[in-house]
Chain A
Amino acid sequence: MPPSTDLLQGTLDLLILKTLALESMHGWGIAQRIQQVSRDALQIGQGSLYPALHRLEYRGWIQSDWGASENNRRAKFYSLTPAGTQQLQTELETWDRLSSAIGLIVRQTPEAAS
């Protein structure tokens, strides 16, 4: 669980939205998917996952429906709303801007600095 606290503020929202952009998923699935895709670099603890999911839902970016899971259990599936798709786009742009800006600074060579 420790890596989740290292996530940049607001990044979790982006990760969730991006994950849900592919297909609707339950909370466990979202955590697993993020872990897999990041090759175990990012582990999302439930302590941050569920408050984030609920926050996004109350903002109207994702919606939830009860459905059956792979092993036929009742589970809450989250999916992106149109507003959520829009939000994802905005957050992706922000992320790109931010990461390239950070990249510029971090990868700066000593020669270029002087």
Chain B
Amino acid sequence: MIPQLRRLLTQLRFLFSPNSRHDLDEELQFHIDQSTQQKIAQGLPPEEARRQTLIEFGGVERARDESHQQRPGWWIETLAQDIRYALRGFRRNPVFTVTAIATLALGIGATTAVFSVVDPILFRALPYGHPDGLVSIGLTQSLEKQEFTLGGFYYYWKDNQTPFESLTEEGGTDECDLTEHNPVRLNCARVEGNFLPTLGISPLLGRNFLPEEDRPHGPKVALISYGLWLTQYNRDPGVLNKLIEIDGRSVRVIGVLPKDFEMPRLQAADVVVPRAVDISAQRTVNDGLGIPMWVFARLKPGITIEQAYQAMQPLYQDILKILPVEDRAVFRKDFHFKVRSLRDRQVDDIRLIAWILFGSVLAVLLIACANVASLLLTRATARQRELAVRSALGASRARLIRQTLTEAVLLSLAGAAAGCGLAAILLKIFVAIAPAGIPFLGKAALDPRILLFTVLLALFSGMLFGLVPALKRPSPGALAARTTPSGNHAALRRALVVGQVSVSMILLSGAGLLLRSFQNLQSQNLGMQTHGILTVQTSLTLQRYASSQKKMEFYRQVEGAIRRIPGITSVGISDSLPPAGWHGGRRYADLLVDGRSATPLNTGGTVTCRSVTPGYFRALGIPLVKGQNFTEEQRDLPNEHFMILSRLLADRLFPQQNPLNQRIRIGLDDFWYTIVGVASEVRNADLQGDNEPEFYTLRRYSDSNWNHTILTVETTLPPDTVVPWIRSQISHLDPTVPVDIEPMHERISKLADRPRFESALLGFFAFTGLLMAIIGLYGVTAFMVAQRTQEVGVRMALGASRSSILRLILWDGVRLIALGTTLGLGASLALSRLLRTMLFSIGPHDPVTFTAVTVLLALVALIATLLPASSATKVDPVVALRYE
């Protein structure tokens, strides 16, 4: 320890001591003088003695340099020299420098930004204790791919399971109102009493629920979120044990949730209350299936998910035996038991796009690295002569390698710095254009680890390809001026170009497919009018509008008031809107046609239903293909019920029959609906899905459920004019009601946010990749042309025509392009299958897209080779030959 320390101190002393060159000179001079004197003493004449001494002594300069190089700080001096030299080189060659730095910046910036977005989705730590042991358990069905459970199953499993430490369930979140002095609309989550301990969450303040609080009619208590504590109670610890009023009922606050709390299904939750399930009733309610719930469990240590699944499978089979006979077959056929990690559940649908982004950004990085490598190789070849000269002047190979490395590192660092800036900007853009509902995007921040990774990668590739030429001993031939050192790295450079072209082919075809799919999505016929339509929604507090009657009165007045606004042509009311979002649904088997026997239960899937006013069809411009629309008068008839079928449902229920005036009963209702019309198809299963059969019932003034109410307003005036009028009309009726007005086309545009985001991102990468590949191709061709100037001169002097020269040069590029495109085409045909689930009405091997992409790539690449090639034809043979 001590000797090392001393040595370090000695070195530091020399590092900072003034330059000792003068001392060294004096020392060497002394040596020479002594030697001369000795020789004189031996009898040589002074002149001769001096001459012999100098011969014996050898190079003074070399001795001086070598002694100097022993200094501890010597490498810093060299480094400074190398850097100065590199910077001079960059200044002399700005095109090279800017291209290299821009390429690196794009590669590093794009990669870092995308990693930063993808990382929290794929790899973030869940905010629970030991999250790796958490699983989600439940049933999946053809219509519900995300597992859920029913009370009838859950409590049986809970009592008999072995693989889990504990199981817990949540019943989803509902809107609720904090009905204190200034009411706020909140999200209330209902969970089982052991929810927090199972997930490994401890309240920031206060305590978890007690067992008696999780029983029906138990004390009303709640945990509040950190956000609510902050905004509503100003982080006052006195909130504990305070009674707050939720939906008009007193609830005691028993704790505050931690800041990073989130529900396992990521729903927003401001208040968490015990669900207080009546366990004994679970075998009777909902046909003995129990209420729906979402179940999460913690695995016992050492148990894998697969083992847990195997252990739970018999329990699932057991419970099926308890079910009514007619349900059993359905469950066996359509339902599947599923156990998977909580993380898998959370990232389920975002996972694919995350991996695709990940892959495409890696591809861009690859192209960028190849580009830099190719640039460095080109530069190195061009500098072979310079290296040979330096080597001849005495630069050691180590020194030359260090010089090359210094340049590569400088370039990479400059690229990395620019890349950091670009990454920050790109990340902002991503977050801004990303659709709502991509989890964790808000939390995406530039991750220094990721930045470091990409910078290191860039450094590595720079050094690697900087080294390849430096490692070769400069041949003396390279000194001889113009003799072409061309063929050297040509093969490597060509390989890089082929690689770049094929990788950009993959990116382009992926982007092309997504873009076409997005176009299809946007341009599809929704079956209804979307422009000039406003949707109006209000949230009525339960306190002021307790009864359905009160709500109906309110909406009746609103409808009348809006109808009187000038420029409004029709107003409809419905409980939901196509093409996506919540809507009512029934089982197909529930529809009983008068005079027919019931369809066997549980065949035929589900049917969408909407409760609408006659104005709904008028406002949305949905034509009736048979029969008539509902009438205003029908809304007042208390004892008659009317229905309109969608064409799909009409064709299915009444093939080759006239559906008009047929009567239908739904489920166990004690009345019949009379069919008055058939409406044309409207997209009703999201933008991507196949249409579901649908029926419309007349929303009447008497019996309807007014909880879900949306007004659709058709107007001939611009929305900006009409919106304030509508708002003032509603606030005239009740100033406390919040009103949400949104144009229909914006609502629909939001549904396409996700595909838009996906195709925009992939498009961006494809464009970046293409750009860089083209730069690479151009650079290589231009360089080859420059190398062959003399050859071209000879050919022309011997009588070659300009077009044959052009062919000669072009042929070289065309071969590279053809090879790259073919390889890329093969790879993208294989890879595009991954995109299948993201594509809408287009196959993953869509010939149009692939042809277009191939042609585009080939064309652009051809232009990139044509430009330098045509400059080759302008070579003046005389000039080219005199070059030598």
- A residues sitting closer than 8 Å to B (CB atoms) are 1, 26-28, 31, 45-47, 50-51, 53-55, 57-60, 69, 71, 73-76, 83, 86
B34 touches A28 (CB 8 A): yes
A17 to chain B, nearest CB (A): 15
B58 touches A1 (CB 8 A): yes
7 closest A-B pairs by beta carbon, nearest first, are A60-B10, A54-B70, A51-B66, A28-B34, A55-B70, A54-B67, A50-B67
Stretch of B21-29, B88-96, B114-122, B554-562 contacting A (4+ beta carbons < 8 Å)? B21-29
Q: Does B35 contact A (CB under 8 A)?
A: yes
Q: A60-B6, A60-B9 are in contact. List 18 more A-B contacts (CB 8 A).
A: A28-B34, A45-B57, A46-B28, A46-B57, A46-B58, A47-B63, A47-B66, A50-B27, A50-B66, A51-B66, A53-B67, A54-B67, A54-B71, A58-B70, A58-B72, A75-B27, A76-B23, A76-B30
Q: A1-B58, A76-B23 are in contact. Are A58 and B71 (CB under 8 A)?
A: yes
Q: How far apart are the CA atoms of A45 and B37 in the complex, in Å?
A: 17
Chain A CB count within 10 A is highest, among B6, B14, B27, for: B27
Q: How far, in angstroms, from A73 to B33 measured CA to CA in the complex?
A: 10
Q: Given that A54-B67, A54-B70 are known contacts, is A47 also in contact with B62, CB under 8 Å in the complex?
A: yes
| Nearest CB of A to B110, in Å | 47
From B6, B28, B34, B35, A50 is in contact (CB under 8 Å) with B28
Name which residue of chain B comes closest to A60, CB basis. B10
CA distance A71 to B33 in the complex (A): 11
Contact residues, B55-105 vs A (CB, 8 A):
56-59, 62-63, 66-72
B51 at the interface (CB under 8 A from A): no
- Contact pick for A45, options B23, B58, B67, CB 8 Å: B58
Q: Confirm or deny: B488 has a beta carbon within 8 angstroms of a beta carbon on chain A.
A: no
Residues of A within 8 A of B6 (CB): 60, 83
Distance to closest chain B CB from A67 (angstroms): 11
Whether the Cβ atoms of B31 and A86 lie closer than 8 Å is: no
Smallest Cβ distance from A76 to chain B, in angstroms?
Answer: 5
Within the complex, the shortest CB–CB distance from B189 to chain A, in Å, comes to 70
Looking at chain A's contact residues, the main secondary structure is: helix
| Chain B residues closer than 8 Å to A53, beta-carbon distance | 67
Decide: B35 and A28 in contact? CB cutoff 8 A.
yes
A50 pairs with B58, CB closer than 8 A:
no
Q: Which of B319-364 contact A (CB under 8 A)?
A: none
Cross-interface CB contact of B11 among A46, A58, A74, A86, cutoff 8 Å: A58
Closest to B31 in A: A28
What are 25 A-B contacts defined by CB distance under 8 Å? A1-B58, A27-B30, A28-B35, A45-B56, A46-B57, A46-B63, A47-B59, A50-B24, A50-B28, A50-B66, A53-B67, A54-B67, A54-B68, A58-B14, A58-B72, A59-B7, A60-B7, A60-B9, A60-B10, A71-B37, A73-B33, A74-B26, A75-B27, A75-B30, A86-B3
The distance from the CB of A16 to the nearest CB of chain B, in whole angstroms, is 13
- Residue numbers in B under 8 Å from A83 (CB-CB): 3, 6-7
B500 CB → nearest A CB, Å: 48
The distance from the CB of A26 to the nearest CB of chain B, in whole angstroms, is: 7
Q: In the complex, are the beta carbons of A27 and B10 less than 8 A apart?
A: no
A40 CB → nearest B CB, Å: 14
Residues of B within 8 A of A54 (CB): 24, 67-68, 70-71
Q: Which residues in chain B, 444-470, are within 8 Å of chain A measured between CB atoms?
A: none
Expressed in whole angstroms, the minimum distance between the Cβ of A92 and any Cβ of chain B is 17
Docked pose: A76 CA to B71 CA in angstroms: 17
Verify B58–A69 contact, CB threshold 8 A. Answer: no
Q: Given A46-B63, A51-B66, A51-B69, answer yes or no on A27-B27 (Cβ-Cβ < 8 Å).
A: yes
The answer to whether B7 and A76 touch across the interface, beta carbons within 8 angstroms, is: no
* A46-B71 in contact given A60-B10, A74-B26 (Cβ < 8 Å): no
Which residues of B have CB within 8 Å of A74? Answer: 26, 30
Q: Which of A27, A47, A57, A71 lies in contact with B58, CB distance below 8 A?
A: A47
Nearest CB on A from B20, distance (A): 9
Residues of B close to A59: CB separation below 8 A: 7, 10
Q: Which residues of the partner chain A approach B62 to less than 8 Å between Cβ atoms?
A: 47
User: Nearest-CB distance from A89 to chain B (Å)?
Assistant: 13
